[in-house]
Structure 1
Amino acid sequence: MSVGPAGDLYVRSAQELIKQKLSEDDHRIYIKIRDLSSTATTLYRESLLEESRNCLKRAWDYLDKHAKSEELILLGKSRIAQTEAYLDFLQKDFKQAKSLLQTSLESDEVLETDYEYSVFHVQRLHNLHLQIRIDFETGNPASAIELCEKIIQYLTGNLDDLLVGNGWGGERVKNTPAIFRNSILSQIVGEVGTHLTKQSAEIGRELFMKFPGWKLLAGNDFLKEIYEWGSMKEAFLNNEHEKFLELCAAFLKKGPMETLLWHTTVLDLCACCKALRPSQTKEFLKEVAEDAKAIIVMEGSQYIAPTEIGFKQVVITKDDAIPVHVLPTDLRKMLENNSDFSVTKTRRKSIELPRNFHAYDVGLPRSGTSSIASLFGNYRSRAEFKERESVEHIVAWKDGHISRETLRKYVLNRHRVGGLEMDPASFNHFYMSILVEEFPEAKFIFTIRDCYTWVNSFSKMISRWRKHFHDVGYEMPGWMLDYGRILFGKFDWNWLSSYQTVQSNLPELVGIFVQCWAKYNRSVLELLPPERSLIIRTHELSQSLDRIAEFIGVPGNRLTTNHHVNISPDGDDLLSNFNRGEFDELCSRYGSDIMERVFSENPMVV
């Protein structure tokens, strides 16, 4: 299944099985192929299409050169072909997508049947979901609906063979965990619901009659909404308006659940209102269109955690875990365009907005970057802009999957899309040399914290996140784990699961974090262009506002006063049980030059 909310649990299960079954050498080769494929998707999302294609070509070449066993060859072909099929689908090269999809399906069937990769049954069904999307996009809705119906019959135990290739059977369905079956069912029916809303009443009625499988889910407590939707859709298509509105009111009152069907029902309600009371419902239709624009993932201190459902995400904040829905582009557009009134849409400009100034904070996390973002709140300033995307590119670069030139293209694209005047991302230091080269007029603020308080604060921050993910029942996202690997090398996140585990592993953690502090701060100091840089010690930030304003070239009264943000919520000293003399010795061993330059009585600051 695809990496992300729909398939994270499956991905973990599959990767664990692959690691168990392959030899150490073969597994190392597979990981390289897997990561190149994932990087290709990451590059595609950033419109780096040529680089994405090159990454896939490297994956195929690496497979041809290094894979010797049939098992590894099949695993590699399956992974690369599935990725390439999906990207071809996005580029509307449907013929090539279908060909690659067939390659992936055939490889997965052999892996499941001959090599006992039973979990790949889920991936094969997920590949059929892409086949359904291709059929819909190529004007074959009847074929798509027919396959959707077969899959529902199959997953509910009413059909033994999908008649698409080989290797299907009731026993295989029984051995597929319910969590995966429900995920696939929700995505399949979501596709049906979305595409039925695009059809005329006559065609919609004809297609819906080919899809009686929704009735089989009346007893599925997790996906009962599918049965409720089917009852409403049937009434809607039969012009039983009173029955539809009665069912619709109860359904919509529950709010979005596990599928997209709540949103497709809103579209049906809009169509019904237009037909019955066109003039009286204009404001309602306009409100729906406006609301659709606002359906976005929350911003702020949050991370996306996986769920078992394709279009549902959980936003993990510092205080809670909040479910949200992410709508496919076509469904969002239908909701936005349902009104007869023109709705003002936010469009990204193709040219860069003029900047009053151009500056970066290149400090580490927990060094004041969030405070700088807030300080410049009257300007275009945003903390951690495109964090996940940036980390994925940094990891791909560090792992050798992309070149520095490709990373440079990403950095330039991020700069263009963001249009930020103050960019205080705590990962800017990784590609600082590119920033210095590409933006000769940009200025650099370097907020730096003394080693002891940084290690203490940083330890608390990441242990809070580790504990919070554990408390809400989710694994750490893969990109965060990769980020930790790049930052710290050998590192076990379980060391941070609780106060007790932190204390048990304190010597190792302190050693890792002190070296991290020294390594990355030293790198920044070496790269700072003296004539356009300002070093601010974090504890002096509040007393340095006039210096900062003068350095950037803005009036001091335009800086905000609300810059004490991202403060640690507790006063616990995680280092209280660590000998301070030993800590200072470590700091001196790894970072005496930094302490001398920045934190001595006569610092040699820029």
Structure 2
Amino acid sequence: MTQMDSVFKSDVCNNNTSSRAFHAYCIGTQKSGTHSIAGLFQPRYHSAHEPEHYPLIELLLANQPVNQINEQLTKRDQDLSLELESSNILSFFIESLVSEFTEAKFILTIRDCYSWLDSCLNHQLNAQRTEEMAFWWRYRDFCFRQEAFQHAAQEKTLAEHNLYTLDGYLSYWQSINQKILATIPPERLLIVRTVEIEASIDKIAQFLPIPVETLNPSRSHLYKAQKKFNLLWQIDRDFLEQKVEFYCRPFMAQYFPEVQQMNDVLGGDAKEMKK
């Protein structure tokens, strides 16, 4: 996706940060709905999903000093002049965004760890390991800590499909959500559950604040998986639930108290998921 593909210019806004109707970021894990949030604001507002992602990932992987990161993020913001930028990559820069853009507000999209993990696996299995996609796989190696964990026997299907470990996936889910919630002041943060994005349009409009009729609910379900592979059902269930308890249970209890186990959101049989 090019920058021109992902940026939609507003009919009420030009490329000048002083003329923005509002300034907001949508952050969260991969596959949590950041694409759909960007869609809500199109075409009325200057909104983008993961614009200039290559230099942003390069900045992340370069591990530069904080002052240099802040300078580059500030220049990037001035160049893009977005009202809403939605990007899971920006979650790694949350401290800088909060400190450098003191008037900005933040929308966190949060998804239960089971359906999130299922979506991640499906997305990565649908993604080809081509030379063109190599940069994204470098980013995934960073997110899911490829060098830090080894596959256990109970999750051998993940190794067989050249995917990451449960430790890698679930520690990422936990750390991103924890970091965002610990960093952003409550008055600047709106938490939206992925399954409730469309139902949260009024709340989003009030939070920014903008007229609710300027949002576009028809674009609230973007970027669904091309094909489902049902790999979660091939992982030892007790092993999976133990990993969820270790990494995810505190946040699950707070934001998804109705979800006690995988069956509560995905069902107990992979056959039920095939459509």
TM-score, length of structure 1 as denominator length: 0.38
Identity level (%) = 30
1:491-510 pair list within 5 angstroms = 502=158, 504=160, 509-510=165-166
Partner residue, 1:384 = 50
Letter in 2 for 1:374: G
- Per the alignment, in what secondary structure is the counterpart of residue 224 of structure 2? coil
Letter in 2 for 1:433: E
Partner residue, 1:445 = 107
- Larger Rg, first or second structure (1 or 2): 1
- Per the alignment, in what secondary structure is the counterpart of residue 191 of structure 2? strand
1:54-453 pair list within 5 angstroms = 299-300=4-5, 352-377=17-42, 378-397=44-63, 402-453=64-115
**Contact between 1:503 and 1:574, CA under 8 Å: does it hold in 2?**
no
- Per the alignment, in what secondary structure is the counterpart of residue 365 of structure 1? coil
**Contact between 1:379 and 1:421, CA under 8 Å: does it hold in 2?**
yes
**Contact between 2:197 and 2:220, CA under 8 Å: does it hold in 1?**
no
- Aligned equivalents of 1:406, 1:443: Cα separation in 2: 23
- Aligned equivalents of 2:232, 2:159: Cα separation in 1: 8
Partner residue, 1:574 = 231
1:464 equivalent to 2:129? Answer: no
- Per the alignment, in what secondary structure is the counterpart of residue 82 of structure 2? coil
| Bigger relative CO (Cα 8 Å, ≥ 6 apart) | 2
Letter in 1 for 2:59: H
User: For residues 297 and 599 of structure 1, do their structure 2 counterparts lie closer, same or farther at Cα, with a shift above 3 Å needed?
Assistant: closer
Partner residue, 1:597 = 254
Shift of 1:535: 0.6
User: For residues 554 and 501 of structure 1, do their structure 2 counterparts lie closer, same or farther at Cα, with a shift above 3 Å needed?
Assistant: same
Deviations along 1:313-343, one digit per CA (max 9) or x if unpaired, are: xxxxxxxxxxxxxxxxxxxxxxxxxxxxxxx
Shift of 1:407: 0.7
Partner residue, 1:538 = 194
Alignment equivalent of 2:141, drawn from 461, 485, 493: 485
- Aligned alpha-carbon RMSD (Å): 2.8
Q: Which runs of 5+ in 1 are unaligned?
A: 1-295, 302-347
Partner residue, 2:203 = 547
- Aligned equivalents of 1:595, 1:421: Cα separation in 2: 31
Partner residue, 1:81 = none
Give the structure with the higher percent helix. 1
**Contact between 1:395 and 1:482, CA under 8 Å: does it hold in 2?**
no
- Per the alignment, in what secondary structure is the counterpart of residue 25 of structure 2? strand
Partner residue, 2:240 = 583
- Per the alignment, in what secondary structure is the counterpart of residue 106 of structure 2? strand
**Contact between 1:506 and 1:578, CA under 8 Å: does it hold in 2?**
no
- Aligned equivalents of 2:2, 2:258: Cα separation in 1: 47
**Contact between 2:32 and 2:110, CA under 8 Å: does it hold in 1?**
yes
Partner residue, 1:212 = none
- Per the alignment, in what secondary structure is the counterpart of residue 128 of structure 2? helix
- Per the alignment, in what secondary structure is the counterpart of residue 28 of structure 2? coil
Deviations along 1:19-46, one digit per CA (max 9) or x if unpaired, are: xxxxxxxxxxxxxxxxxxxxxxxxxxxx
Give runs of ≥4 in structure 1 deviating > 6 Å: none
- Per the alignment, in what secondary structure is the counterpart of residue 115 of structure 2? helix
Letter in 1 for 2:22: F
User: For residues 375 and 521 of structure 1, do their structure 2 counterparts lie closer, same or farther at Cα, with a shift above 3 Å needed?
Assistant: same
Partner residue, 2:178 = 522
- Aligned equivalents of 1:573, 1:422: Cα separation in 2: 34
**Contact between 2:126 and 2:227, CA under 8 Å: does it hold in 1?**
no
Shift of 1:560: 0.3
Shift of 1:517: 0.9
- Per the alignment, in what secondary structure is the counterpart of residue 382 of structure 1? strand
- Per the alignment, in what secondary structure is the counterpart of residue 570 of structure 1? coil
Letter in 2 for 1:380: H
Deviations along 1:82-108, one digit per CA (max 9) or x if unpaired, are: xxxxxxxxxxxxxxxxxxxxxxxxxxx
User: For residues 476 and 558 of structure 1, do their structure 2 counterparts lie closer, same or farther at Cα, with a shift above 3 Å needed?
Assistant: closer
User: For residues 601 and 455 of structure 1, do their structure 2 counterparts lie closer, same or farther at Cα, with a shift above 3 Å needed?
Assistant: closer
- Per the alignment, in what secondary structure is the counterpart of residue 466 of structure 1? coil
Shift of 1:476: 4.0
- Per the alignment, in what secondary structure is the counterpart of residue 571 of structure 1? coil
Partner residue, 2:271 = none
Shift of 1:491: 5.1
Deviations along 1:475-495, one digit per CA (max 9) or x if unpaired, are: 643x33432332122259xx9
Letter in 2 for 1:360: Y
Deviations along 1:372-416, one digit per CA (max 9) or x if unpaired, are: 00001110100001100100001101xxxx211111111101111
